[in-house]
Structure 1
Amino acid sequence: MSEEQKMDAGWLVFDPDPKTPDFKLPEGAVDAHCHVFGPAPEFPFAPERKYTPCNAGKDQLFALRDHLGFARNVIVQATCHGKDNRAMIDACRAAGERARGIASVGAEITEDDLHEMHAAGVRGVRFNFVKRLVDATPKQVFLDIADKIKPLGWHIVVYFEAADLEELEPFLRQLPTTIVVDHMGRPDVTKGVDHPDFQRFLRLMEENDSIWSKVTCPERLSVEGPPYADVIPYCAEIVSRFPDRVLWGTDWPHPNMKSHMPDDGALVDFIPKIAPNPEHQRKLLVDNPMRLYWA
């Protein structure tokens, strides 16, 4: 890795030896939110990136998949690779039917490009509105991309923080596809589930059955730290109210973590705390991702 592609100082590397989960995943379970980083120099990080992570390639991801007991992955394009989707697509192709991808594309994307991605296993695009991670993009660019992907049956993954939802809501209501919200819209878990910010998100899901949510990243949302008890009420509320529109994933290899690095086996053990009902567990981990990504 060249000097300019070395990992940022002070940032943590994923746990190389996660525990074997106590919770046995249902057969066919999908890790519906994970990433690949590089490895550089084969897949260099984007010049415009806001962070430089460690190398974490497809071989390590697939080894983790097997260790934890997942059958499949949904690999989400990470902002450190910008709109260069080669690492993600390479991983999808290597996994065959065991992986799907979410791409990051720009206004210049062509129908031919999209069809090539579809053949590789891509089934959606990600729109990132987290200001510390990406530069602002005009909303019309996103709307034009949405029109291009709609004929393929793709969906849109959106990443934002709770405080920005009020401003984004009119735009989200314009999108013509299924929308999957990353990490419950990043609620501030110190405010409680009754806070207007989280209630606004629940109301949006209630009013629009095309909106799904990933009940993911307790390690990123928690103030208390492991075992992330302060995040449980948020995830559990969404799972119980919208069991047919929820997804779960590890977020491996956990970019931008500075305070601690989670044990991915312990994250799997978090699942029954937010979905104690076996029927809800199966929907969360098997039925919903299979319907969205493999149907």
Structure 2
Amino acid sequence: MDRTKRAITRRGFAAGAVFWAASAGSGQKAFAAMTPQDNTIDTHAHVFHRGLKLAPGRRYAPDYDAPLDLYLKQLDDNGMTNGVLVQPSFLGTDNSYLAESLKTAGGRLRGIAVIDAAISPEQIGVLDRASVVGIRLNLVGQPLPDLAAPEWKGLLANIKAAHWQIEIQRNAADLAVLVPKLLDHGLRIVLDHYALPDPKLGVADPAFAEILKLGASRNVWIKISAPYRNGGNGEAFAREAYPLLRNAYGLDRLLWGSDWPHTQFEASQTYAKNRHFLDELVTDPDERAKILASPKALFRF
């Protein structure tokens, strides 16, 4: 990352922090009608700081801190009761800060780890007791895994035994091939960011039609999160995609995530902006409440 981009990133994140502080009052008013028993769950966020060891071969690394206390403030200011921390790809398989953050949050958060395929059942157990409920495969720019390899067969069996989920970030065309193979192992699958169809085609991408078919399995969930990761017309795409996803998956298989702190999009995104977009996307308050509450079972809250 060059100096200009670093400066933009720092300024963008700082500007977002000012916006969050200014919008706290309006956020509290907007969600004042919610009753204490309502679960409102943000299923996708990251925490990190610059003192953490970075993974070799990473695609990028932020030059700012996104600490736990600031994330918890976003939850409070935006009427969210719970959150899910996803291990950032640039931290690799060292999930220690993730586990530390989950412990500090005292049961309010759950975690999705990044692991090595050779992880032992005992190590999975340690993470499970730390409130980790699944693994993430961020396959952007990576080769697809050979699920027939012995280490992958063993891993998938251990994931199933732990009742964990597998969260995947990959383009829709590859997901349409990979996900059915994972479903054959009896696993629960979560697809990131609308399943990332070709941004030039949007809902017309033939692979997106295949993603819609996966809803019939009832073992696939999809995140209606980070529309900006679906190209320059991401919000327009999201508005077209939402009714199709709702009909194919049902409200109880749609997950909302803030994608905080919006890595590589810090200059244009804030938590409040993404939370408000959900209100615009899902205009029916009952539908919205179901989407925000339904992750409770999947993430073991």
Q: Normalising by structure 2, what TM-score? A: 0.84
Q: Does 1:9 align with 2:6?
A: yes
The residue aligned with 2:139 is 129
Q: 1:166 to 1:281 in 2, by over 3 A?
A: closer
The residue aligned with 1:232 is 239
- Which residue, out of 279, 282, 292, partners 2:298? 292
| Residue 24 (structure 1) shift | 2.8
| Residue 11 (structure 1) shift | 6.0
| Residue 253 (structure 1) shift | 0.9
RMSD over aligned Cα atoms: 2.5
Q: Does 1:213 align with 2:222?
A: yes
Identity value in percent: 28
Give the counterpart letter for 1:16 in structure 2: A
Q: Does 1:245 align with 2:245?
A: no
1:188-247 CA-to-partner distances (Å, cap 9, x unmatched) read 3442424312111101222x110111111112224237xx23321113321344211111
Confirm or deny: 8 A CA contact 1:111 1:148 kept in the other structure.
yes
The residue aligned with 2:55 is 46
Q: 1:114 to 1:192 in 2, by over 3 A?
A: closer
| Residue 170 (structure 1) shift | 4.2
Q: 1:98 to 1:221 in 2, by over 3 A?
A: same
Q: 1:189 to 1:233 in 2, by over 3 A?
A: farther
Aligned length: 282
| Residue 67 (structure 1) shift | 1.5
Q: 1:166 to 1:239 in 2, by over 3 A?
A: closer
Runs of at least 5 residues in structure 1 that lack an aligned partner in the other structure? none
Confirm or deny: 8 A CA contact 2:139 2:169 kept in the other structure.
yes
| Residue 154 (structure 1) shift | 1.1
Q: State how far apart, in whole Å, the 2-side matches of 1:174 and 1:128 are.
A: 20
Q: Normalising by structure 1, what TM-score? A: 0.86
1:87-138 CA-to-partner distances (Å, cap 9, x unmatched) read 111111111210000011112312221111111110111122211xx46543
Runs of at least 5 residues in structure 2 that lack an aligned partner in the other structure? none
Q: 1:11 to 1:115 in 2, by over 3 A?
A: farther
Confirm or deny: 8 A CA contact 1:157 1:180 kept in the other structure.
yes
Q: State how far apart, in whole Å, the 1-side matches of 2:202 and 2:102 are.
A: 38
Confirm or deny: 8 A CA contact 2:252 2:295 kept in the other structure.
no
| Residue 266 (structure 1) shift | 1.6
Confirm or deny: 8 A CA contact 1:83 1:105 kept in the other structure.
yes
| Residue 255 (structure 1) shift | 1.6
Q: 1:248 to 1:46 in 2, by over 3 A?
A: same
Q: In structure 2, the residue corresponding to 1:294 is in which secondary structure?
A: coil
